[in-house]
Amino acid sequence: MKKSITITVVTLLLLVTAFGQIPSGYYDAASGKSGEELKAALYNIIKGHTTYPYTSSSTDVWDILKETDKDPNNPDNVILLYTGWSKNGPKEYDNENGWSREHVWAKSHGDFGETPPAGTDAHHLRPVDISVNSARSNKDFDNGGSRYIDGDGSTDCYSDADSWEPRDAVKGDVARMIFYMATRYEGENSEPDLEVVDYVTNWDVFPAPKYPIHGKLSTLLEWHVQDPVDDFEINRNEVIYSYQHNRNPFIDHPEYVNYIWGGNLPPMAPSGLNAPTITDTSVTLVWTDNSTDESGFKVYQNDNLIHTTPANVTEHSVLGLLPGNAYIFGVSAWNNYGESSKTTLTVMTLSDDTTADAIFFSEYIEGSGYNKALEIVNGSSKSVSLDKYCILSNANNGKWYSSNYSFPTETILNPGEVWVIAHTNADSDIINVADEVTSATVVTFNGDDVRALIMINQTDTTFIDMIGAYRDSTYSASGWSVAGISGATADYTLIRKPGIRQGNPDWASSAGTDAANSEWILHPQDTFSYLGWHSFDENAIDEHPFVRNSPDQFRLYPCYPNPFNNTTNLAFALPATRQVTVTVFDLNGRLVDEKQVGWLTAGYHTIPWRGDKYSSGVYLYRIQAGQQIRAGKLLLMK
C-alpha cells in the first residue's frame, strides 16, 4: 500500500559498532600508535583499576565471576572455561560439587598469589572444574599440551605434556587474557612486571622467585586469530568494566594484538567508511586505511562480496543500484593470514524524479458526509521523490486556492505504491489505510471542485494530472460526467484503469465519453475496498479489477502516524516467509531499541513501536527480513 521515507536529503548513515559499548574517547590516547608505544599507552589507560578481595563477606571475585560467566540459559550456573560445562556450586568450592577460580595467567608466573590487583583481576579469573584446575596447575599454553579430553564429564583424561591446551571455543579468550595481563602489569607501584614469551617455561631453568613470564606467544597469536571475539567475551568485558572500571583492550580492539606483538595476523580493520557521492543508482565509498600490511580491501553489499581493491586503494564506486533503496556496505582489510572485521555503513540512494508523469491520481472518493479521499500511485519502474509534487484545489469553478497541498518532506513512492490523503472525519475504513488525514481543502471537495496534481521545478510548473476541468465554461454544480455517466464526480468512487501508467492533465480525454474510452472505472459512492493499493494487472476480471496480489518484493512503507506522540506502526511487505528483526537508532547511530519479531509469513504486516520511554526527536529504524534490510525515519513529538 504505502511508501518509503528517506532519512535525510542526502543520505542515511548508520555506523554499526562491531563490539561492546566502548566509552567515548576511552582509547583516544592509543590512536595512531604501535609497538611498545601502543602498549605503554594502553597501560596508562587501563592501570589503577578498582580492586576487590579474593574472598570476603562483601563483594569479592566470587560474586563478580558469577555474573561475568553466567550461563545465559541457566542464570543460577556459570560456564566453566576449559570444559564448557554449566555448573552451580557454593560460594566457596568444595571437592565434589563446587567450581574453582582459575588464574589464567598462572599466579606463580610473577608470584603475586591471590593479592590485589593481579591476583584478583577479574579480566583473567575464570570459573573452572576443580580437578581440571589442579591438572592445569601453572602450565604455559601451547598446542599439543595437556587438555581435558572426554567432554562428557565421565572421565578426566590428561596427557603428561609440559603445556596446557584449552578447548577450541575459548582459545582466543585465553590469548586475549594473557595479552591483557602483559599490558596491564608493568612493574609500577610494587605490581608485577609481566611479559609474554615465545617458549614454554621450564621451571628447572627458572627457579623461585618465580619469573613473571608466560608462553607461548606464537601459539597465543594463532589462537587469537582462530577464535575471534564473541558475544560472551564482549559481555564479560562490559560486566568487569562495571566493577573494575577498566577494560580489556584486545576485546574492544583485536587489531591491537597485531600492532604490539605482530605475527602472522590479519591486518587492522579500516575505519571511517563514508559515502561522499550518492546518486539514484550509485554510491562512492571511501574509507581510512589503518594497516601497513594489507593485500587489499574487500567491499561488501548486504553481506555479499562485490569487489576487491589492491593494497592502499581506499575508494570504490558501486554502480547499478536502485533509486530510493537502503543498502548496507562493509569494507574489510585482508592479507595472506586472514581478514579483518568490517567497518559498515547504511546508505539510502537518491530517488529518481525523471518519470514525472508516472505519479498520478489512481482513486477518487467523494462519498457521503466526510468520506472523501485521494489516492496517488507511482506507475513507473523506479522510486520517485514526492518533494516537488503538490495538489492544487479550487471550489465551484473558481480560481485556485492560494495554498496547495504538499507531501511530507522526503516522501519516496516506490514502484506500484500509493499515497492516500483522507478527511479527518472519514469512515474508519478510509482512515485505516490513509497515509495522511487532514481537514485541509485538498479533501473538502463536493464533486464540482477541481484537484490538479502538479510538479514544481524551481520556477517551472508542470500539470501532471487532473480531476475536473478548471474554470469550465460548461460548469455544473452537479459535477462532471465520467465514462458517459452524468455527475459521476459527485456520486461515484472513481478508480483508474489498470492499463493507465501516467497522468493526464486533459480532463475531457481522461473522463471519456463511455466505459471503453474513459481512463476510469466507476463504483458505487461509498466503495472503499480498493483504497490503499492499486493494481496494474490488465488481465484481472472485470468485477474485481484491483485484486490485491501478494507482494513480489520486500518493501518498507512509512510508519503511521508520523509524527506521533506515543505509538506508531511500522508497515512493510514480505514476498515470502522471513525472520524479522526491528532496530531503532538515534541520530548519533546509537542503538535505542531492538526487537526480534520472529518468523512472519508472506504478506503485508505492521508492527507497533512505542516511544513512551524516549525523548522527543528524530529516530531512524531498520527492518531486517532474512538478509534484506530497509530503513526509515520516525518523528516522536511529546
Tell me if 448 is assigned to some domain.
yes
Average pLDDT of the chain is 83
Q: Mind listing the pLDDT tens digit for each residue in 495-531?
A: 999 888 888 889 999 999 998 889 999 999 899 988 9
Residues 183 and 257 in one domain: yes
Sign of CA dihedral 76, 79, 84, 88: negative
Cα–Cα dist 349/282, whole Å? 7
Domain boundary residue, one of 192, 226, 261: 261
Tell me what the mean pLDDT of segment 210-216 comes to: 85
Note the pLDDT of residue 5. Answer: 30
Torsion angle, CA of 173/176/182/185, rounded to 10 degrees?
-80
Tell me if 9 is assigned to some domain.
no
Tell me what the mean pLDDT of segment 326-346 comes to: 85
Tell me if 24 is assigned to some domain.
no
Note the pLDDT of residue 312. Answer: 93
**Could you tell me if 499 and 446 are in contact, meaning their C-beta atoms sit under 8 angstroms apart?**
no
Q: Give residue for cell 516467509.
A: 577
Residue 296's domain is classified under what CATH number? 2.60.40.10
Note the pLDDT of residue 491. Answer: 87
Query: Tell me, what DSSP letter sits at residue 388?
Result: T
C-alpha cell at 265: 595476523
Domain boundary residue, one of 348, 369, 395: 348
Note the pLDDT of residue 3. Answer: 37
In Å, what is the CA distance from 135 to each residue of 104, 144, 164? 13, 15, 9
Query: In the chain, how many domains are there?
Result: 4
Residues 306 and 432 in one domain: no
> Per-residue pLDDT for 47 more than 90?
yes
Residues 449 and 411 in one domain: yes
Residues 331 and 378 in one domain: no
Instruction: Give the model's confidence band at 73: pLDDT under 50 very low, under 70 low, under 90 confident, else very high.
Output: confident
Range of the domain at 506: 356-524
Domain boundary residue, one of 321, 348, 375: 348
pTM of the model: 0.46
Note the pLDDT of residue 277. Answer: 82
C-alpha cell at 4: 518509503
Q: Mind listing the pLDDT tens digit for each residue in 415-460?
A: 788 999 999 999 988 998 899 999 999 999 999 999 999 988 777 7
Cα–Cα dist 304/18, whole Å? 18
Residue 369's domain is classified under what CATH number? 2.60.40.1260
Specify the higher pLDDT residue, 552 or 218.
218
Q: What is the DSSP string of 419-482?
A: EEEEETTS-HHHHTT-SEEE-SGGG---SS--EEEEEEETTEEEEEEEES-TT-TT--TT---B
**Could you tell me if 317 and 308 are in contact, meaning their C-beta atoms sit under 8 angstroms apart?**
no
In Å, what is the CA distance from 557 to each residue of 193, 415, 457, 561? 60, 12, 26, 12
Supply the angle between the helices 61-68 and 231-244 in degrees, to the nearest 10: 150
In Å, what is the CA distance from 138 to each residue of 146, 201, 369? 12, 10, 86
Note the pLDDT of residue 127. Answer: 94
Helix residue ranges per DSSP H, 548-638: none
> Per-residue pLDDT for 375 more than 90?
yes
Tell me if 543 is assigned to some domain.
no
